Structure 1
Amino acid sequence: MGCDTPKEAWRKIKEEFEGNQQTKLMQILNLKREFGMMRMKNNEGVKEYGSRLMSIVNQIKLLGGDFSSQRVVDKLLVTLPERYETKISSLEDTKDLSKLTVSELINSLHAVDQRRSMREEEIGGKNEGLLLAKVSSSKGTGNKVQCNHCHKM
């Protein structure tokens, strides 16, 4: 309301929502820290992890920061859990990793997730209906069997 020209009003609105240059630099620094500390969760697929990484990268780029896709590829290769080691080794042998794009890497690794989930479904179907139990012994009462599902004896 206190601005005399549209240009002045735009500058004021832009500064209000985006912040000044120092604020942007601090936001970029915080996002880069978050990117550096990021790790893949145990129950997370490679596509979800890649999306989380790219979300941070996109925020950095929106704030005017520079972030190469090669850095994202490197981050993925270094922070993936051991279950991807064989696929990563295969990629190292067959491709030039310096020219590998983020989407190529994620799609290659996603195949590992898909195969694993198909195997788990196969195993689950074969074992369906089996009662899993563990035997525990206690003094004077002999052996008891405890259900792993409901934990009743």
Structure 2
Amino acid sequence: MEETSFTTAPPIFKGENYQTWAIRMIVHLQALDVSDVVEEDNGIPLRSANPTVAQMKIHREKKKMKAKVKSCIFSAVSPSILAKIMNFETPTKIWEHLKEKYAENEKMKSMKVINLLREFEMKKMKESDLVKECAEELVKIADKERMLGKKFSDEKIVEKILVTLPKNYEPKISSLENSKVLSSITLEELLTALQASETKRLMRKENFTEGAFQAHRY
């Protein structure tokens, strides 16, 4: 009764955040005084033809502890993961399987997150780039981060766009700053404002080019 009162099992492991789950699981097993069982795989000693009382007691205790650890692990994983580990004979083999499968996946996931962040930071907008296309690339990276379970706010995309804009957008940024909405502007609002400025600039450029062409003809 005391044991269950002072030990709290970790949340059910469903295949994500393995490292956190593993740490909490080890602490849980330490509280039950059976954590050593997952680190050793010596098997349950076989009984001799004429075992002593002490040997029989050790055999029973070993068997009981291994069963206890297996029960703890089984109760702390989802049904789909339980189906993959239930045929392993020892807690050590179960633990090694979970570590090999999910810790490696988590490591690869972390590397993907780092690479995506690097790609996000490396993105620069050239004067010839369109605002919409640049924003779409940044949003795609953000969406990939979110799919990997990482928080990625629109505010971060807004900040990235603002710091990477070419000099020809500086008048528009100054205008937004003067209107005191820049600090709270949404991604949609920023893109609308920038695209409007971009359209005007492209139209002026087109009119200038057409005028120069006409002047050249005559």
2:173 is matched with which residue?
88
Identity of matched residues, %: 41
* CA deviation profile, 1:25-74 (whole Å, cap 9, x unmatched): 11011100111111002311111111111111111111111111111111
1:125 is matched with which residue?
210
Is the CA contact 1:69–1:102 (under 8 Å) kept in the aligned structure 2? Answer: yes
Q: 2:118 aligns with which of 18, 24, 33?
A: 33
* Unaligned ranges ≥5, structure 2: 1-78, 85-100
Is the CA contact 1:61–1:67 (under 8 Å) kept in the aligned structure 2? Answer: yes
Is the CA contact 2:127–2:168 (under 8 Å) kept in the aligned structure 1? Answer: no
Distance 1:25 1:95 in 2: 38
RMSD: 2.2
- List structure 1 runs of 4+ shifted beyond 6 angstroms: none
Residue 95 of structure 1 aligns to a residue whose secondary structure is: coil
1:51 is matched with which residue?
136
Q: 1:96 to 1:124 in 2, by over 3 A?
A: closer
Is the CA contact 1:24–1:63 (under 8 Å) kept in the aligned structure 2? Answer: yes
Q: How does 1:84-123 map to 2 (within 5 A)?
A: 84-123=169-208
Is the CA contact 1:70–1:101 (under 8 Å) kept in the aligned structure 2? Answer: yes
Displacement of 1:22 in angstroms is 1.6
Residue 128 of structure 1 aligns to a residue whose secondary structure is: helix
Displacement of 1:127 in angstroms is 2.0
Displacement of 1:102 in angstroms is 0.9
Residue 66 of structure 1 aligns to a residue whose secondary structure is: coil
1:135 is matched with which residue?
none
TM-score by length of 2: 0.50
Is the CA contact 1:40–1:79 (under 8 Å) kept in the aligned structure 2? Answer: yes
Q: Looking at secondary structure, tell me which structure has more helix per residue.
A: 2
2:151 is matched with which residue?
66
Higher-Rg structure is: 2
Residue 115 of structure 1 aligns to a residue whose secondary structure is: helix
Is the CA contact 1:70–1:98 (under 8 Å) kept in the aligned structure 2? Answer: no
Distance 2:119 2:212 in 1: 41
Query: How many residues end up aligned between the 2 structures?
Result: 118
Is the CA contact 1:39–1:79 (under 8 Å) kept in the aligned structure 2? Answer: yes
